[in-house]
Amino acid sequence: MAKLWGGRFSKNTNELVDAFNASIDFDKRLYHEDIRGSIAHASMLAKCGIISAEDGEKIVAGLKDILKDIEAGNFKFEVALEDIHMNIEARLTERIGQAGARLHTARSRNDQVALDMHMYMKREVAEIAELLIQFEEALLSVAKKHNKTLMPGYTHLQRAQPITFAHHLLAYFNMLQRDFRRLQGVWEGADMMPLGAGAIAGTTFPIDRFDVAEQLNFGKVYSNSMDAVSDRDYVIEFLSFAAMLMMHMSRLSEEICLWSSTEFGFIELDDAFATGSSMMPQKKNPDIAELVRGKTGRVYGHLQAMLVTAKGLPLTYNKDLQEDKEGFFDAVDTIKFALAVYRDMILTMTVNVDKMQQAVSKDFSNATDLADYLVRKGLPFRQAHEVVGKCVAYAIHNDKFLPEITLEEYKNFSDLFEEDLLQALQPENCVASRKSYGGPAFSENEKQFAAGEKVLQMQQEILKDLQQHL
């Protein structure tokens, strides 16, 4: 098949070159954006008198027919035509003749592919924002059910202080809030219209780039043609967001794996969200959590690859930039899948309240509260810390926990201990008394629930606005 750029060449390209150069196998997913962008471009060319109104109408009608064919599965993509742009343009020209050959007036594949990527990213950002909100809603919903569910909080994976399961999940809710904020920043980077930059230096034709931007709902237009075709910051920003989001989900995945183990037994995953072993009949494996944890490294790789690809490129367009798509597309698919499946997995898991309660009652995570008890009695904290440390050592030596030591035994370490010390050691009291802003007290959780609902409402409004500007 003749190349649309073949006029300067005396030989056909080698088949291996065709295969290596082609991007159609992965950039065909840009067909909707490519056609929509071409319709806007053709309409603008006709408005500006660069092509005739008749040709403009033929082009628009032909492109709409091709869109129908692609969506019906009646379009054959040709590797020899390299990419989505040339596949569509070649088919258009076949169908409507010379009018189709005029479509590429005042544009290049350089600014065309940039336009497609910007539009595609905006669409995906809106879809990811919706999935992110749904995952946040799931976390908040489960947290609300477990405001009074006690569990150990950990540092260094060692039991540290009593908290609630609600407080633990709210930590992830807060992480996702920040991810949503970063996703907004990705939208801003994607909401710039590059078409009209041409290959590098714009065009000699009297085009109206702002008309195209308005047709396609872009908020801004690139002010420099070289920047417009070479910029991939928005891709890197998306991959940075994706890496951060997956990092947060990977941390939760690690905890899901621990919590669902026999050693912890804090949760049980629904059968629909776990797998078994082909050899060991008793197994129930947290495969989803493990896969999300594993795929996090994959998304990191896409970010690193794009940074390395872009770091040494001179202005403007270089074929290296074709490498921006596969990693980006894969990251999009990965985080959308992860968010969707995680939402349902979180909502259907069983929380073993008794097991968590038992865990927090059979440890020394109340030791800090015992030190705070002595501080309220007048002892400086550093001295109180030493006293309680000796109490803990004594308890361990005698195979006891702090509530099991008698008052008489406590008196051996400090005369400040009174009968009310047992109240200070109760896990529910340890939690309830931590009313400092952002703390795990039941009352503070309630405040965080209310704040979370407001955040979700605000995010829904932002999502609606994004959807209106696609």
Whether the predicted pLDDT of 382 surpasses 60: yes
Percent of the chain surpassing pLDDT 70 = 95
Same domain, 114 and 102: no
**Residue after which a domain boundary falls, among 355, 379, 412:** 355
Domain-located, residue 390: no
Judge if 76 and 179 occupy the same domain.
Answer: no
Average pLDDT (122-138) is 98
Show the domain range for 92.
13-106
Whether residue 316 is found in the same domain as residue 188: yes
Identify whether residues 33 and 81 lie together within a single domain: yes
- Statement to judge: residues 86 and 171 lie in one domain: no
- CATH number, domain of 55, equals 1.10.275.10
Residues 99 and 135 in one domain: no
Give the residue from 330, 355, 380 where a domain finishes. 355
Residue 15: which pLDDT band, with cuts at 50, 70 and 90?
A: low
End position of a domain, from candidates 355, 390, 408: 355
**Each residue of 390-430: pLDDT tens digit?**
999 999 999 999 999 999 999 999 999 999 999 999 999 99
Looking at residues 33-43, what average pLDDT do you find? Answer: 98
Domain identity same for 253 and 118: yes
User: Could you tell me if 223 and 84 lie in one domain?
Assistant: no
Is pLDDT at 182 greater than 90 in this prediction? yes
Tens of pLDDT along 255-285? 999 999 999 999 999 999 988 888 888 889 9
177 in the same domain as 309: yes
pLDDT in the model for residue 4: 59
Q: Choose the catalytic residue: 156, 223, 397, 436.
A: 156
Per residue in 226-248, pLDDT (tens digit) is: 999 999 999 999 999 999 999 99
CATH of the domain at 259: 1.20.200.10
Identified catalytic residue from 108, 167, 253, 277? 277
pLDDT at 8: 65
21: pLDDT strictly greater than 70: no
Model pLDDT, residue 79: 87
303-354: per-residue pLDDT in tens?
A: 999 999 999 999 999 988 988 999 999 999 999 999 999 999 999 999 999 9
Residue 156 annotated among the catalytic residues of the structure? yes
Same domain assignment for residues 99 and 185: no
Mean pLDDT (the chain, rounded): 94
Q: Which residues contact 243 (CB under 8 A, 6 or more apart)?
A: 296, 299, 300, 303
In a domain, 360, yes or no: no
Does residue 132 form part of some domain?
Answer: yes
Do 96 and 129 lie in one domain? The reply is no
The answer to whether residue 367 is domain-embedded is: no
pLDDT at 24: 77
Q: Is residue 413 part of a domain?
A: no
Judge if 126 and 140 occupy the same domain.
yes
104: annotated active-site residue: no
> Is 1 within the bounds of a domain?
no
Instruction: Please state the rounded mean pLDDT for residues 176-195.
Output: 98
Residue 399 lies in a domain: no
Domains in the chain, number: 2
What would the two tokens of residue 97 be?
């003749």
Q: What is the pLDDT of residue 431?
A: 96
Residue 265 lies in a domain: yes
pLDDT at 13 over 80: no
